[in-house]
Every structure is written in structure tokens, then in C-alpha cells.
Structure 1
């Protein structure tokens, strides 16, 4: 259901402790046992934030990003230095609002994750350049950490933007990271849904 350490599919911070019915049972009781409607979430996002909210556009389509079928980066933009999410679409705006994605604990966590990711990616790059066999373990540890969305936001930056945002020194490391690990999580939930929860 989620990458690495079973993180919440919405905030990517806390461990997923709840199963969220993406389309709430109150609105769709017949989807109670539909596997595709079950998402791993933390209790904060599921019980405290989302609850039974399921905003719809005027055409009746859901305004929440479904992390199992959509790339959140199509709807959200992460300001790496501040840890704040901005929206690119109405769906992004509704998702930020419903899940309170800019609550103080998440913003602080993303800011810390940005500092950590810069250091780890640079270290990984140097280890890889030196042929250190532990380079891959270092990368995998970062990919299992909370706020891995920060890592993928860094990997998506175009080189000229990366230089301004993360610094020229880090650009070669991020470009190498992108060539090895891509710009979206390899374990998109679409494939995980076939297996066990």
C-alpha cells in the first residue's frame, strides 16, 4: 500500500495505522469491501482531518488526489526550503485543505527532511563515485524515511532551477540520483494493490 516503512499515503509522515475508505462509507456503503477503496493512512489524516469529507467538482468527479492512480506532483508543488505545499490545480487545493497538509508538524518535518536529503544524496553521490558498495544501502535508507516526497521533489527539479533552490554543489548529485532512482516512487501503489495489504 505504501513505500518502505508503511507511511501514510496522504502526509507521508506518520506510520499508516488506519485503513481509510477513500470514498467514505457514508457516501458509498457498497464500496466497504472494495480493495481499491482502501488506503493506508495515519490516524491524523484519516480520523482527524479527512473523516467523511469527499469534495466533488461541478462535474461530479472527486477533488481529492488518489495517490494510487495519480501522481500528486501533477496537482501539488512542494516549496523545498519552506516545507509548504502549494497547489497547481483545484484537486491539489482541495487535497491540501482536507488533509491539512500544511499543518505545522508536517511543514517542520519536510524542512528537516530537505536538510537531511541534501546531505544524504550528496554523500550517496560521493560514495557511488568512489565505488563504495554501501552507496545503495544509503539511498535505500533515505527512500524508506518519512517525507520521501521531499526527495522526489528534489529529483524533479530542472538543473537550472535546482541550482537556485538547492545549490550548484548539489546539482550533479541530484542529476545522478534522478538517473538511478527516477522522479516518482518506483513502488506506486497501483502494483501493490494486486498483493496483500
Structure 2
């Protein structure tokens, strides 16, 4: 869920210091030692937010949390860029927002706002460095952008720049949208993701 380096798979903000059992041991003891049931999480999401929460669909009993080993979180969650909050696109997305407090934890929303401003600066710096022929500097800008906390904001920006309503999603930020759509910039940044 979090494209950043060694970040929590749920919030993307903190360092992934814990191994979370995606399906809790208390509910599925047989999966305790399955590798695909182990996800990198921060202590806060693992111990304070998720704990043993594992909502299931009333219809078929399938898990309602997004399993990032099997699913693309962008299919279930959309980052509303001006607000830096998430909108659930599916019941799984809604469950993730609720269980992990993705919109109710002020520190995450504030962090995403900062990450959004920083990501815009990164694509601008990449463009400037490339125009000046400073290709190693441009590569370093892309690398650093993905290693920051809340790299999900950068991933959301690239994802939404290709959306049919991108002009509306980036209203007032046409320059940023143009950069995000630049094939060379996309190639440089998305190769690092």
C-alpha cells in the first residue's frame, strides 16, 4: 500500500518496524507462518489501529481490508489531492480508511499535505535538472521522492494525472499536471516506484 522505502503498508507515514499478520493470528492461527500473511507495518497501525480488526463482507465473508500482496490499493482508494484525504472507491477502501484511521488521524492528513507540496517540487526540480542536462541530479530527485514518507501521495498524483477527469482533479495546477503527463518524467519516476 505504501510505495516508500521500508514504510508501513497501511499509513505510509511511519517506518515499518513491525510484522503484521494481515489476517490476525487469533482469527486464522493456521496462517501464522505464511509469508504472504506477513506485512510490514508501523507499531501504531499494528498495535493501536488494526490490532485484531479484520472486517469481512456480510455477503460472502471475504476480507474487507486491501491485501497489498494481491491487490492494487489504487483500485480501492482515491486520494483527494486538494484535501489530502482518502475516498473509498469500494467497500474494501472504506474499511481501510476506517480501520487505519487514514482520514481521522490529523498527523496523516497534515503529512499528506506536506508530501503533496514536496512531490510537486520534486517533479519541478526533475524538469529543471533535465532541461539543464543534469541527468544524474534528475535521477537523484526521483530516487529521493520515492524514499520519503507518504510516497502514496506521489503515486496518487501519477495515477490521477491519467484519469479522464484529470483537468478537474488538478484544477489550478495545470503546470503540475503537464509535468506529470510528460513521458520522460513518467518514465524516470515510475521506473523507481
Q: TM-score normalised to the size of structure 1?
A: 0.87
Q: Equivalent residues in 2 for 1:44-193 (5 A)? A: 44-57=44-57, 58-102=59-103, 103-132=105-134, 133-156=136-159, 157-158=161-162, 159-161=166-168, 163-164=170-171, 167-176=173-182, 177-182=185-190, 186=193
1:30 positional shift: 1.2
Q: Which runs of 5+ in 1 are unaligned?
A: 187-197
In structure 1, how many angstroms separate the alpha carbons of the residues matched to 2:75 and 2:2? 19
Unaligned runs of 5+ in 2: none
- Closer, same or farther in 2 for the Cα pair 1:4/1:64, shift >3 Å? closer
Q: Deviations over 1:1-35 (max 9, x none)?
A: 97553000011000001100000000111111111
Across the aligned residues of Structure 1 and Structure 2, the Cα RMSD in angstroms comes to 1.9
Q: Quote the offset at 1:164 in angstroms.
A: 1.2
Paired residue for 2:29?
A: 29
Residue-by-residue CA offset, 1:86-138 (whole Å, 9 max, x unaligned): 11111100111011111111000000100111111111112112220210011
Render the CA deviation track for 1:30-87: whole Å, top value 9, x for unaligned.
1111111000000111100000011111201100001122111111110112111111
CA distance in 2, matches of 1:37, 1:185: 25
Aligned counterparts of 1:84 and 1:94: Cα–Cα separation in 2? 14
